[in-house]
Amino acid sequence: MMPVLSSTGLVLHNLGLAAGFGGSLFGKVALNPAVKVIGSRAERGQVVNAAWNGFNIVNAASVGLAAITWLVGRSKLTGREIDRTTHGLVIAKDVLLGATVALGAANIFGGAFLAKQAPEGAVPSETGLTPTVGTPEKAAKTMKALDVGGIVNLAAMAGVIGITAILNMRAGASSRWSLVARFLP
């Protein structure tokens, strides 16, 4: 019999990671470059700031859900239930998920700060986070920091997703884990 609570937690965890990663990837590779079709550089910034700041609620909830479900499961299990390598993967996931949460929070606050640099978030930009010659210096620095932070955050989330898949495969192949899983809620 499949443990219902644990299975639900895993599904919610994976959905949170998928929504956070997918939305961030879409914004980075599709939304940000697409605003170049808007003639006004100020309107580009306004559209990008409105879109990202709107997505931030979904992103925070999604990544938060992934972190909470991980912490609940992590409070009960260490990975040692399977073997030393799995324990190391659990610790690596702890670090990457912590980085994802911290970078996500930094990006949310940075995006809100950027949007306040011009009325209605209309900070001039070439593309989503590429400043123009006329972008104020403080806003341009914020854009560059958000751009780098977004790339690092995507890499951290991809690492979390990859390690999650490896942990699931290792658990599925472990007779020790099969025994432990029988006692999960």
Output the tens digit of pLDDT for each of the chain's 185 residues: 455 556 788 899 999 999 999 999 999 999 999 999 999 999 999 999 999 999 999 999 999 999 999 998 888 777 666 678 888 999 999 999 999 999 999 999 999 999 999 999 999 999 989 999 989 999 999 999 999 999 999 999 999 999 999 988 887 665 555 555 555 55
Domain tally, the chain: 1
**145's tokens:** 């920091």
The count of other CB atoms within 10 Å of the CB of residue 42 is 19
pLDDT of residue 169: 84
Q: Which domain holds residue 46?
A: 4-181
Q: What gap in Å lies between CA 134 and CA 140, rounded to an integer? A: 9
pLDDT of residue 3: 59
Q: What gap in Å lies between CA 81 and CA 98, rounded to an integer? A: 22
Tens digit of pLDDT for each residue in 27-61? 999 999 999 999 999 999 999 999 999 999 999 99
Q: 């690492």: which residue's tokens?
A: 159
φ and ψ at 114, to 5 degrees? -60, -45
Q: Give me the helices (H) in the chain, please.
A: 4-26, 32-34, 41-76, 84-115, 137-172, 175-181
Q: What gap in Å lies between CA 153 and CA 107, rounded to an integer? A: 9
pLDDT of residue 176: 58
**43's tokens:** 């309107």
φ and ψ at 72, to 5 degrees? -65, -50
pLDDT of residue 122: 95
Q: 């006692």: which residue's tokens?
A: 183
Could you tell me the sign of the dihedral formed by the alpha carbons of 40, 45, 50, 52, in that order? positive
Contact call for residues 19 and 62 (beta carbons, < 8 A): yes
φ and ψ at 126, to 5 degrees? -75, -55
